[in-house]
């Protein structure tokens, strides 16, 4: 059995029902790439989503996808989106003492032999991250995957993380650092989870983004959740770090940047901060109602992004340099 790859596969994606997949459909290509990369796909879904879509759970199992039923977040959140803490707890029980990975359901993965070797040898001192590269069409995705070296043809999407891998035995240690509002399919979990893993002392290694392709689409989450989850999850992480003096130096550095708003200038110069906020505004068009929250997001990204990408967007180096593979 391959390394468990956890993703919240929806009943339909790109307008294609999962129950009626053709071999050349988008989701079928995604699943095939996961198997080829050495993963065992595991769909994380709420019982409410299965109940609302008869036959979906059976269709997943028929496609060779394991199913992990988890709880949704509390009242006020969509009942079909998995809660991160529920996901981690269930994954820890189902897959004890082994590497696990989390990705988005629409990420095509094509790992090099070196990346597969690193993943299979993953221990409790290291975790893996990856950004993605966007493509505009299925034909472009197919063409790029046929290239001997696709890195020259791709530009990483450098706001957010689309792949995380770590050892399942670490779940109890990061549990207290994570807010109960963090939800797969909504903003912030992909920033806070890597921060929490680094807070307990893990080193991070970035896999090359060209191994993770994504068919571009408009953002579907709401500003309400960006605001709500952003405030609750960063406050929770800050309080947890303050209560635990044994966290890493990196966590303390993030804590100082978060608690002292004037410390923003230590991580980002004024011009760079404006540039970074405008970059986020361009990526996620909408009113910048909470500039402080955007600044916190920018700082948090600087602790988890690939350092090579940080320099491209004019963001100061908030976290330690990390190698790439």
DSSP-derived secondary structure for 141-184: HHHHHTSS-GGGG--EE-SS-SEEEEEGGGHHHHGGGS-TT-BT
Which phi and psi angles does 291 have, rounded to 5°? -60, -30
> Which CATH architecture describes the domain 3-215?
Alpha-Beta Complex (3.90)
Q: How many residues does the chain have?
A: 325
Site of tokens 């299979």: 120
> Closest by alpha carbon to 183, among 77, 38, 55, 299?
77
Lowest-pLDDT range of 10-19, 62-71, 116-125: 10-19
Is the per-residue pLDDT at 171 higher than 70? yes
Number of C-alpha atoms within 13 angstroms, CB side, residue 212?
A: 23
Which single residue is written with the structure tokens 């790992």? 111
Nearest-10 crossing angle of helices 223-243, 189-199: 10
With bands split at pLDDT 50, 70 and 90, how would you rate the model's confidence at 314?
very low
What the block records as the tokens of 10 is 């929806």
The residue extents of the domains of the chain are 3-215, 223-312
When comparing pLDDT for 111 and 320, which is higher? 111
pTM: 0.85
Task: Quote the mean pLDDT of the chain.
Answer: 84
Residue 186's pLDDT is 94
Q: What is the pLDDT of residues 102-122, one digit of tens each?
A: 999 999 999 999 999 999 999
- On the question of pLDDT at 270 being above 50, the answer is no
Tokens of 309: 């990408």
How far are the Cα atoms of 93, 241, 253, 300, 304 from residue 267, in angstroms, in the given order? Answer: 39, 19, 10, 10, 13
**pLDDT tens-digit series, residues 65-95:** 999 999 999 989 999 999 999 999 999 999 9
CA atoms within 13 A on the CB side of 121: 7
For residues 13-27, give the mean pLDDT: 75
Average pLDDT rounded to a whole number, residues 297-314? 71
Q: Residue 306: its pLDDT value, please?
A: 76
**What percent of the chain is modeled with pLDDT above 90?**
59
| Digit-coded pLDDT (tens) for 146-167 | 777 776 667 777 777 999 999 9
Q: pLDDT-derived band of residue 201, with 50, 70 and 90 as boundaries?
A: very high
The CA angle 71-76-81, to the nearest 5 degrees, is 40
List of residues 6+ apart from 113 with CB closer than 8 A: none
């Amino acid at each position: 059995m391959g390394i468990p790859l956890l993703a919240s596969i929806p009943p339909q994606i790109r307008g294609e029902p999962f129950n009626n997949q053709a071999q050349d459909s988008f989701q079928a290509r995604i699943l095939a790439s996961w198997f080829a990369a050495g993963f065992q796909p595991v769909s994380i879904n709420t019982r409410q989503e299965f109940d609302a879509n008869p036959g979906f759970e059976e269709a997943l199992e028929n496609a060779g996808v394991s199913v992990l039923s988890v709880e949704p977040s509390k009242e006020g959140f969509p009942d079909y989106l998995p809660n991160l803490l529920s996901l981690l707890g269930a994954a820890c029980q189902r897959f004890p003492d082994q590497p696990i990975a989390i990705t988005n359901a629409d990420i095509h993965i094509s790992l090099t032999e070196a990346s597969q070797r690193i993943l299979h040898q993953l221990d409790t001192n290291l975790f893996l991250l990856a950004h993605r590269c966007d493509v505009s069409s299925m034909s472009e995705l197919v063409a790029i995957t046929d290239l001997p070296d696709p890195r020259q043809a791709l530009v990483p999407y450098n706001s957010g993380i689309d792949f995380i891998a770590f050892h399942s035995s670490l779940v109890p240690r990061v549990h207290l650092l994570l807010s109960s509002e963090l939800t797969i399919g909504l903003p912030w979990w992909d920033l806070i989870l890597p921060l929490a893993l680094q807070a307990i002392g893990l080193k991070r290694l970035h896999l090359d983004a060209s191994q993770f392709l994504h068919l571009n689409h408009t953002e579907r989450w709401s500003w309400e959740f960006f605001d709500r989850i952003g405030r609750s999850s960063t406050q929770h992480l800050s309080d947890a770090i303050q209560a635990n003096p044994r966290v890493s130096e990196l966590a303390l550095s993030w804590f100082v940047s978060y608690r002292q708003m004037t410390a923003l200038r230590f991580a980002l110069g004024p011009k760079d901060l404006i540039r970074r906020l405008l970059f986020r505004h361009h990526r996620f068009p909408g009113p910048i109602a909470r500039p402080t929250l955007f600044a916190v997001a920018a700082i948090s990204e600087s602790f988890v992004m690939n350092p090579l990408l940080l320099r491209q967007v004019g963001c100061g180096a908030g976290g330690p340099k990390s190698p790439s593979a």
